[in-house]
Amino acid sequence: MLVIGIDGATWSVITPNLKRLQNFARLIREGRAGTIYLKHKPLSPAVWCSMFSGKSPEEHGHYDFVKNGEIVKREDIKVEFIWDILDRNGVPVKALNIPFVVPPYNFNVNFEPVAYGLPIEEHELVEEIKKITEKSLEILKEEKPEVFIVVYTALDRLSHLHWGEPILVDYYEMIDQAIGKLIKFDDEIVVVSDHGFCDYEKAPIRTLPKRTPKGEIKGDHHPEAIVITKNVECEIKDPTDVFYCIKRKFLRD
């Protein structure tokens, strides 16, 4: 099974641009597309953590990259993730660039992220998409596990700073191309985002201040995330369903 996470991917950009986003279009055509309506605050660290631990934010207690002035680390979060459970049960699994912490977390993969997993400048964002795709292809070609999970974070940064600008669609296209390369290696696919995006002024909650040292924030998180599945039995309506979906398939409980 191949799980591709795209931080901040939203239907309001994908749907009107499907002619340019041919791999999204193909997946939607061949699989099932839907929306995850988040019941909790659309905070990336909390949602990614829920998605791969099967726990709600109240249960895992992880909301931010930084707590009391300190960077939160994997071992500070007292949960078992799907990769821990699969690995313990002998199911080959790898996870690349999972952004519930910074730098993003890797399991059974050696990977040095671009700019500590917090790319800001355009060349860093492009480099991140390229580097994650290259590493993913290396894994899928040479040592493909039963379950491979990978997350791209570039669209979130771009959407905060360039919401409503044409450049955003260019980056969606880059992600679309990357997805096209990865999905050739698996029949069972989940593509999922941690939250949607919308205009900063219309965002139901603000995750960032209006002005930051990198410039004015134009977009912010929306509680409607995307999900597309292909050849995957279960329905994903909540982030935790991703965890249960993988667990049920490989551990049958």
Partner 1 sequence: METKKIEIPAELYEKIEKRAKETGFGNVDKYVTFVLEELLRELESEEEEEYELSEEEEEKIKERLRALGYID
Q: Which residues bind partner 1 (CB under 8 A)?
A: 64-66, 71, 74-75, 102-103, 108, 110, 115-116, 118, 120, 157, 160, 208-209, 212-214, 217
Name residues whose C-beta falls within 8 Å of residue 229's C-beta, 6 or more positions apart in sequence: 31, 32, 189, 190, 191, 236
CB 28 within 8 A of CB 9: no
Nearer to partner 1, 37 or 116 (CB): 116
Give me the least distance between CB of 178 and partner 1, in Å please: 22
Please state the closest distance from residue 18 (CB atom) to partner 1, in A.
30
Question: CB of residue 31 vs partner 1: minimum separation in angstroms?
Answer: 33
Q: How many CB atoms lie within 10 A of CB 155?
A: 23
Query: For partner 1, which is the closer residue by CB, 75 or 142?
Result: 75
- The Cα-based distances of 13 to 80, 172, 196, 222 in angstroms read 34, 8, 10, 12
Would you tell me how many other CB atoms lie within 10 Å of the CB of residue 73?
10
What gap in Å lies between CA 79 and CA 60, rounded to an integer? 7
Rank residues 63 and 185 by Cβ distance to partner 1 and give the closer one. Answer: 63
DSSP 8-state assignment for residue 222: E
CB of 154 to partner 1, least distance (A): 13
Nearer residue to partner 1 within complex by CB, 24 or 83: 83
Q: Minimum distance from CB of 206 to partner 1 (Å)?
A: 10
Q: Which is nearer to partner 1, 71 or 205 (CB)?
A: 71
Type of residue found at 211: R
Structure tokens given for 5: 């996470």
